[in-house]
């Protein structure tokens, strides 16, 4: 059973006990579990979490109520100082401004932008009233205490993640007064212990989701690790006041994080998760269609079966293939690689830059050169042409002898050198 209430000393002792237990486990891992295989470690892990009792409905509600109560007390402490209140206001306004774009998790409040506008007005009114009371040195009045309590309730309604509140505490803890710092530290420690209890009691859920997930190419231990991250996020974001079971919300968060992380690990080039979902849908449709009719479906047939626009089906099917190493052998019987086959005959960026600079330079001499001299220089240096022509090729193109082309080129180069004499020193 869960304890009803803790004294500050009990909170500190529980934190110390958790730290000592963690150190003991790490020592055991270093001393005794060195050459253990992955399969054996997963068996040990599954047996360990099987010993953890699941929370009953009453225990979960009690634990959720205590977490909410600790967070409410922490917010009241943060709102008791005008400097801290400024930081809390910034955090709340950022949450409200991002509420419409945020999709993890979906909130009932997000369905109505007007609701958030009302919440923003009420929140700012409460904060401004508190600032006025602080200015009038009415910090300890009953009105200020009630406003701080109401602000804590508003924060819960806005569904500000508890992890953001802890990050705010970490940011401003150096500026806290001694008495506030002591109370805030004890409340944070108490919250961490309660949150760890909630996480520990639901580790079996992560293991279950990982075992049942169909995310090919990702090892079970990696899925469990990613799922634990999703469980931590769920513990920081779940609203106990809604009356739903925590496992219902946590299941979605765990599976969501597993899927995102598996997609990142599966592909060398990151792809949008929503398009990956559509790609999987298109691939499944094509496989079923081919099995039934012995041919691949057209884009129109895929669109009809998946209810996706034809343009999106076309875009999804044009997804770039995974990159292949140019040093990969073409087959098992030869050491030939792709590199010689992919050698490009196009000019590289350094050559293109050099040609551009030569073109600008020759263009600057256009007024000092005759039309024939200007054309000869361009042909000889390949400016505006596909290649650099030889003296004989220039003569053939212009109907001149080899020697005459050489003389005209020499005259043109002398004019260029006269404009830019050599630097002797």
pLDDT in tens, 343-374: 555 656 776 777 777 777 777 777 788 888 88
The ranges of the chain with pLDDT < 70 are: 1-12, 15, 18-39, 98-116, 216-217, 266-271, 320-324, 330-335, 338-348, 351, 420-425
Q: What is the pLDDT of residue 311?
A: 86
- Under 8 Å between Cβ of 99 and 116: yes
pTM assigned to the model: 0.56
Nearest CA to 311 out of 302, 323, 320 is that of 302
What's the pLDDT score for residue 339?
66
The whole-angstrom separation of Cα 227 and Cα 238 is 16
| HSE-CB of 369 using CA atoms within 13 angstroms | 25
Residue whose pair of structure tokens reads 């260029």 in the numeric block: 416
d(CA 144, CA 316) in angstroms, rounded, equals 57
Closest CA to 227 of 377, 49, 413, 86: 49
Asked whether the beta carbons of 352 and 360 are under 8 A apart, the reply is no
- Report the distance separating Cα 5 and Cα 101, nearest Å: 39
**CA-to-CA separations, 361 to 241, 254, 332, in angstroms, rounded:** 75, 63, 53
What span, in angstroms and rounded, lies between the C-alpha atoms of 74 and 92?
15
- pLDDT value of position 102: 46
pLDDT at 42: 76
pLDDT tens-digit readout, 205-258: 898 888 888 776 678 888 888 889 999 999 888 888 787 888 888 998 898 888
Q: Which two three-digit tokens encode residue 123?
A: 């929140």
- Kindly state the DSSP code that residue 378 receives in the 8-state scheme: H
Query: Which stretches of 143-234 are assigned E, i.e. beta strand?
Result: none
Closest CA to 335 of 327, 346, 323, 325: 327
Instruction: Give the model's pLDDT for residue 113.
Output: 53
């Amino acid at each position: 059973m869960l304890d009803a209430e803790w004294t500050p000393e009990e909170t500190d002792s529980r934190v110390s006990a958790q730290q000592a237990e963690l150190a003991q486990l790490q020592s055991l891992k270093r001393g005794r579990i060195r050459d253990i295989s992955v399969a054996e470690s997963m068996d040990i892990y599954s047996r360990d979490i099987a010993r953890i009792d699941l929370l009953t409905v009453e225990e979960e509600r009690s634990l959720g109520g205590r977490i909410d109560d600790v967070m409410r007390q922490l917010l009241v402490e943060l709102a008791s100082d005008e400097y801290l209140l400024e930081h809390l206001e910034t955090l709340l306004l950022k949450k409200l401004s991002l509420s419409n774009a945020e999709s993890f998790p979906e909130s009932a409040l997000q369905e109505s932008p007007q609701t958030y506008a009302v919440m923003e007005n009420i929140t700012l009114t409460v904060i401004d009233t508190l600032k006025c009371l602080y200015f009038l040195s009415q910090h300890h009045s009953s009105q200020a205490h009630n406003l701080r309590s109401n602000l804590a309730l508003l924060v819960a309604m806005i569904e500000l993640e508890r992890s953001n509140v802890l990050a705010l505490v970490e940011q401003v803890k150096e500026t806290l007064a001694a008495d506030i710092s002591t109370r805030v530290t004890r409340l944070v420690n108490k919250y961490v212990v309660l949150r760890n209890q909630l996480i520990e009691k639901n580790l079996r859920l992560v293991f279950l989701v990982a075992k049942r997930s169909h995310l090919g190419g990702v090892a079970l231990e990696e899925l469990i690790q990613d799922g634990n991250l999703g469980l931590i996020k769920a513990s920081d974001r779940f609203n106990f006041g809604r009356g739903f079971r925590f496992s219902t919300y946590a299941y979605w968060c765990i599976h969501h994080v597993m899927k995102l992380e598996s997609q990142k690990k599966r592909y060398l080039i990151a792809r949008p998760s929503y398009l990956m979902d559509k790609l999987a849908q298109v691939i499944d449709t094509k496989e079923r269609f081919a099995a039934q009719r012995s041919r691949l479906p057209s884009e129109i047939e895929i669109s009809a079966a998946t209810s996706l626009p034809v343009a999106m089906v076309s875009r999804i099917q044009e997804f770039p293939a995974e990159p292949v190493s140019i040093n990969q052998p073409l087959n098992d019987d030869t050491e030939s690689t792709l590199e010689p086959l992919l050698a490009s005959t196009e000019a590289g960026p350094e050559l293109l830059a050099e040609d551009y600079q030569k073109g600008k330079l020759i263009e600057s001499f256009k007024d000092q050169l005759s039309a024939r001299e200007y054309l000869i220089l361009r042909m000889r240096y390949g400016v505006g042409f596909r290649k650099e022509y030889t003296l004989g090729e220039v003569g053939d193109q212009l109907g001149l002898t080899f020697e005459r082309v050489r003389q005209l080129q020499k005259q043109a180069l002398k004019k260029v050198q006269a404009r830019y004499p050599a630097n002797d020193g």
